[in-house]
Structure 1
């Protein structure tokens, strides 16, 4: 198999994964920071439980959701930028994207996917990042110099 093609496919997969997480992070921060943040969050099951019981959502939960959204945003930004440098055949960014994106998705897989809380687009993102990691690390470890590809 052409290793250059594998690296390009990996780049596209990381780009999709990174842009998705960057956008979700930005949208979640915007949603949680609005004046009616509790009303905007009714799609999230834990918030709906509070609203249905006539309670307002505790501030620590809202703060934790904002922090999670911020983390999604910066992780998505790092991986999106990293995908550009993988396209340029910079070997360190292969490792950077594998660590940042891989550990972010590993946490998601363990605590959300295996627990049965996963929504359809998010589960596919796990497969996208796993494919990108496998393809890019294969090229990384089987090529002496990426610039020669």
Structure 2
């Protein structure tokens, strides 16, 4: 799940391991179809630079907390997940809420749980975007 985001959708392979595991591995032990290509590596390096320069990890912490505080409204009874891998737990079937959000110009997703609307926003999501979501949710029937 992290390679697509790190390379902006360009084909890439990525594995994240702890320091303990990294000490055990040596160069050439792992291989991926799209691992190590110069274009993908340049893209990944650029994305990491932007994440650091724009402090997007702090943005995710701040805005995800704001979303938890403002989006329990309308049909939503809870916000679950970590960071921006989020699910809105709904009183009624998530598919209904998902379709109604589309009518408000908000694209989300459903999941294997019939009462979870899935949110996977970009790391650049801001409070004003969350306000649009919260307003739309408040306008939906519980």
Query: TM-score, normalized by length of structure 2?
Result: 0.26
Structure with greater helix percent: 1
Structure with greater strand percent: 2
Query: TM-score, normalized by length of structure 1?
Result: 0.25
Specify which structure has the bigger relative contact order, considering alpha-carbon pairs within 8 angstroms and separated by 6 or more residues.
1
